[in-house]
Amino acid sequence: MSRESSTSQGRGALAAQKKTGLLQNIKILDVIVYVLLLIRDLIGGSAWLSKNHKDHVKRLLAIVWPKMTARWGSPEGMGRGEIFGLLMLSVIRTYLMDISSTVMKKLSEAVYGRQAGLFQEHALRALQMAAIGSAVNAAINYCRERLGVLWRSKLTGEIHRQYFMAMNYYYVGTTKKPRAIPDADEVIMREVQSSTTRLVNVVHLLIKSIVPIVWFTFKLIRTNGVAYAMIPHMYLLFAYEVAQRLFPKNIGLLYRALLKAQGSYVSGTTRMQANAEAIAALNGAATEAKILDNAFTKVSAASVELSRTKARHDTIFSIAYTHGCRSWIQSIILLPILNRALAGSSSSVAGLVATAEENSRFMLEMLIGNGSLLTLHATAVHMKPTCGKVCELLDLLAVLSKDTVAVKKSNMKEGNIIKFEGVTVHTPAGQVLVRDLTFDVTPGEGLLLTGHNGAGKSSIFRYLGGLWPLKEGVITKPGVNTDGLCADIFYVPQKPYNVLGTLEDQLAYPLKGKGINREELIKLLVKVDLLHLLDMPTDEETIWDEKLSLGEQQRLAIARLFYHNPKYAILDECTSAVSHSVESMLYEECYKRKITYITICHRPALEAYHSKNLHLEGENSDGGWKVTSLPKPVLTGMSVDIDATVKKSHDTNKPPVAIPRRGFFSKMHQLLRIALPGSVQPTCLLLVTILFRTAMHEVDAFTAGRLIQSALDRNPERFVRFAFLSSAQDLATACLESLIAHLQGAVSAVWADNLANYSRGLFAKNLAFYRLRNVDRRILDADQRLTHEVMELSEQLSTILSKSMLPIANVAWVAYKMPSWMSYDQALPLFGYMAAGSAVVKLMMPDHESLVRAEQKHEAAFRFVHKRVRTHSESIAFFGGGGREKEIAEAHLKKLADAQLSARAKESVFKAVSGWLVKDPDEVSRMVTSGAVFTDFVKLQVVMHQSDINQEVLTAVGKGTTASIDSFGKLASLYTNFAKLSASSTRVCELLDVIHSLPPVADTHTNSPSISFDKTTITTPAGRTLASNISLTVPPGKSLLVTGPNSVGKTSFFRVLAGLWPATGVSRPTNGLSLVPQKLYMVSGTLADQVVYPARAEDMGGDPKLKDKLLEVLRSVGIERLALRERRQIVEIPKDAMSRLVGGKRELEHHCKVKVQADEEKGTVVIRGNASACKEAVKQMRAHGDVSVRVVSDDAVGLEVVEPWENVLSLGEQQRLGIARILFHAPNYAVLDECTDAVSVDVEQKLYSEIQQRGTTCVTISKRLALPEFHAQQLSLGADNEQQWTLRDLEKPAKSS
């Protein structure tokens, strides 16, 4: 090859690169390419849409897009009719807009020609077309809304299909990080709805834009030539290129930051509600309120930052696309008039002006169509993160469906016995609970499984049910190929799972209850003494958890066991809340029915019913276990009568006090009284800005009228001057409207802050966060109302503010200027039209409040179903109830869809009528409306009374009448907003009213150093008396042991002592007392925060001995290793070492949970994380070759590490941490509610010894007599006497060694 040819080829390549780079810089090409590819893929169907797996938007479109060749009514064709309807209606709508332009041109000619008869003829036709156009717009809106509902149902159905398959609903939140999606229910509820709504908008924007763009471009080419027709397109291309370079680039990030902040605030409120008892007992309300305040401060800051950025975005958008194009369009359409006038054309003024207005409508429709395509592209870009979350869930479900079932059953064998051979029980985190477990249960045997909490008892059955993958050993059981424990192995938990549905559904679960006949139902209920349940009104949505006590639920679960009559039964402490006679009846009936049972329990009394005991050694035993034989149980299979003590457990279920109902104005007065303070300044600025914006109408009428008049007067110089003045006026209007929007946002932000701060303050005071759900019980979803609904209410208030103030100002301006344009007689028809239209709109309006409430009710019910599945996923998985739960979820989804479709149909009928009378504020097209006809009628009245047509006055009349009618339409649309506001405000006002009605918490603090009860009666909020006339004293140093079976009032004793439940005769020392529950509450924060709670470590930073004290108490309870294990490290390695790793940075971060960042200046890679994680990362690096490592930073103590501690720590570690909290604060009294049953006996003794050495007196709650040497008295609750308690002195505590 010659040097010249080589050089020329090099220049050609360089030129091609420059050309490619230039094309890449043209941003409109991205829109054009995306739209063309989208059209191609939609025509190609799901096969084309699903080709690009990384395009989350098209992936979801591939799922919901209907198969065009499918038969009508089939699931594959769902939505096809709506899409065809949108396409056909769009063509009809475009045709109507074309005819509308012709009709409106005739009306303009009649006005300027002062031909009243001709005007009346064309006006009647125009009104007919307006009615048809309104019906078409309403039909389009209904098709779009209906398609959104159908697509949501279809996408949710596809997720349901995989979610409820093979126990994926359990695995999706428990699989190894980072794949786990713990909030899958929120993805199904929130992200799916948001994604499908936007997908429908993308398709709708595409359909509604293509047809008018092609149609009106062709029309302008025919009438004015190609160059004239291309002007709107070229302007929009130019405006888009400029705007895209000026638009703020971080608006998407700010939206995500706001959503993240809102999510943290919502989860914090939900966390406070869920752990209300522990927080209230520990006096942690102030700390939690501070945490929520900080979370909401971040929400406010993110909202303000987004508002500022959005104001800049909206200003640029308004200048480029809305107001920026109006002035030049007006100038361009008047140029033909000016040219013809200069050329001495004989065309009439009426014809020239009418033609100009027709061309203006054509150009505006073309700009609207092009703008819709730009909006389509922006919507597709902005919805990617939301669609990505849905696709992430679908990907995880697909992986679980393919792999998990095979893994979890790989070491399973089919057989008629239950047998474990060499099974090592691991937690998902890898902790060994039981090592090399071997035992078998043959038909007819009874196995008793014992061991303290956390030893692995329930984990054994997670392996048996296939919930956890079996890696070591072999398990033999019946029903290997079924989900859960299968029909031959039935699970009866301590806290029964009650499915939503009828009484028959409870017994038949996981089957439907329709197969149970009345006679069989009565026999089963009589057997467990629950015949009174037949008198309860129930339906398919009955929540049995709220209707039944724990004892009743356990007996109902026993009846469920008898109905299914399996070969094997797993009894997981399922008789803890029933009498001994019920317990005896259970085992006798199992013997009679030949049900082999495995019982998990703590009580030695149950040994009498079993032939073998498998005991797990638990902590400090390295997964030890032993099997011992028990004396042969003496079971006869005879019926056992349930004694009368069972009937005492029935709660009276006192009906709650009704929540007072408020009228609309009363609710608004209450809310505005809270919201308005602090909003005076932005409100005044808003009013002043609105006045300036209204004054711009005067300038607009003046410049537009003079511009037209200068064209008609053949004055080009004056024409150019007013064209520039009109452009300046439009730019000023754009800035003012953006400022108005920004100020409206500022006002609504103040309102939102005030409402949220006020309601959150009430929620944290007077123990309302605890008493609402656990004592008062009139409002059970306070967290939902406090977060989502308060924010939604604030948005609705600001929406009404934004939609009302400017229209009111416009109407006032028109009323003020009307006398200068026309007489009151001429203006009377205008006001009559507005009054009559308002009355008709009000009469035709559907009951939006009822529709919104119905939709909210079904939405909340569907959300509740999914939340229950997530909360009870393990129990459902044991039952193999995925299929039944899917049926329930699908039924609620259908009810929600039906409610939405019914509401949309009624709203569409209303819009068809109201759209004919008033212009829909959301409709931007120039289709003829009755308001436009009436505007021309008013102009005709003015012209008929003028000797010469004054174009300035006529333009002012036209713009004023249009503004007045449009404002009337916007105000009329507020009826709907007010109805929705009324529905939303009801629930928030109910929350505030109920909190206000709560009586003050009784102060039981006294100067006495002792705890005392003086004839105190413990009564549940439901009205059940647990113990009466308790009289005792707990002096310092004389610890009390409270014992008794479940549900007799042990924890309730503490609730009364702590003042959580109202009671008389209780006193306690001023220093109060602390609680350590069985499941410790872990506050959001550092390891140090867990120990010092309810204080915050950051507030105690001035104490130089704090760190030493924290380490000392952690050392005292044997978990100092947590502080050392969680220390932070920064490790530096050579950069070239990373290239040896196959997966590189991503693999290291994924597997080791570290952060990896390259330091280009030093040529190194920095690894940050916990010490153990950094150590594992270095180990992986060294597996691929020798690596030099330098520890840059190594914190000696990891007390400042923030983790989700409830997930990081084992139950035993959490219980030790609870004792460390007591040792740190050293209160006078500490209530220990079964908080040491996950540690060994020797550790338990050591912990009690540490507590006593610090001078803290214990009130221990236990099912059994435990550690009597540390207690002076024993209070036994649930005694068989009238007062239901006994008190006895224990032997004098021995000195601890």
In this structure, the strands spanning 474-477 and 412-414 are parallel
Residues 6 or more apart whose Cβ sits within 8 Å of residue 1288: 1273, 1274, 1276
CA distance linking residue 702 with residue 327, whole number of Å: 13
Residue pair 594/443 in contact (Cβ under 8 Å)? The answer is yes
Q: What is the DSSP letter of 502?
A: -
Tokens standing for 975?
């009826």
H/E stretch holding 446: strand 446-450
Tokens standing for 218?
């062709």
Give the side-chain half-sphere CA count within 13 A for 886: 19
Residue 573 a catalytic site member: yes
Q: Of the candidates 632, 663, 770, 517, which has an alpha carbon nearest to the alpha carbon of residue 989?
A: 663
Sheet of 1164-1170: strand order equals: 1155-1159, 1164-1170, 1128-1134, 1190-1194
Letter string b/e over residues 428-448, b meaning 16 or more CB atoms within 10 A of that residue's CB: beeeebbbebebebeeebbbb
Residue pair 1251/1023 in contact (Cβ under 8 Å)? The answer is no
Residue pair 551/495 in contact (Cβ under 8 Å)? The answer is no
Name residue 925's amino acid. S
Question: In the block, which residue shows the tokens 């890449």?
Answer: 24
CA distance linking residue 157 with residue 74, whole number of Å: 14
Q: Of the candidates 708, 726, 1286, which has an alpha carbon nearest to the alpha carbon of residue 1028?
A: 1286
Q: What does 858-886 look like in DSSP terms, one character per residue?
A: HHHHHHHHHHHHHHTHHHHHHHTTHHHHH
Tokens standing for 1220?
């460390």
Q: Of the candidates 926, 1080, 949, which has an alpha carbon nearest to the alpha carbon of residue 126?
A: 926
Tokens standing for 1281?
């006497």
Sheet of 1005-1006: strand order equals: 1005-1006, 1066-1069, 1011-1019, 1025-1034
Between the alpha carbon of residue 1156 and those of residues 1178, 1180, 1279, the distances in Å are 12, 14, 62
Name residue 1209's amino acid. L
Question: In the block, which residue shows the tokens 């079932």?
Answer: 405
CA distance linking residue 893 with residue 155, whole number of Å: 11
Between the alpha carbon of residue 795 and those of residues 152, 923, 956, 1159, the distances in Å are 24, 22, 35, 45
Residue pair 703/729 in contact (Cβ under 8 Å)? The answer is yes
Tokens standing for 1199?
């007390």
Q: Of the candidates 508, 504, 510, 512, which has an alpha carbon nearest to the alpha carbon of residue 538?
A: 504
**Catalytic one among 573, 737, 1126, 1149?**
573
In this structure, the strands spanning 596-600 and 446-450 are parallel
CA max distance for the chain: 122
Question: In the block, which residue shows the tokens 């009597």?
Answer: 1268
Name residue 74's amino acid. S
Q: What does 358-399 look like in DSSP terms, one character per residue?
A: HHHHHHHHHHHHHHHHHHHHHHHHHTHHHHHHHHHHHHHHHH
Tokens standing for 938?
């008013």
CA distance linking residue 869 with residue 882, whole number of Å: 9
Q: How many residues does the chain have?
A: 1297
CA distance linking residue 529 with residue 555, whole number of Å: 8
Residues catalogued as catalytic: 573
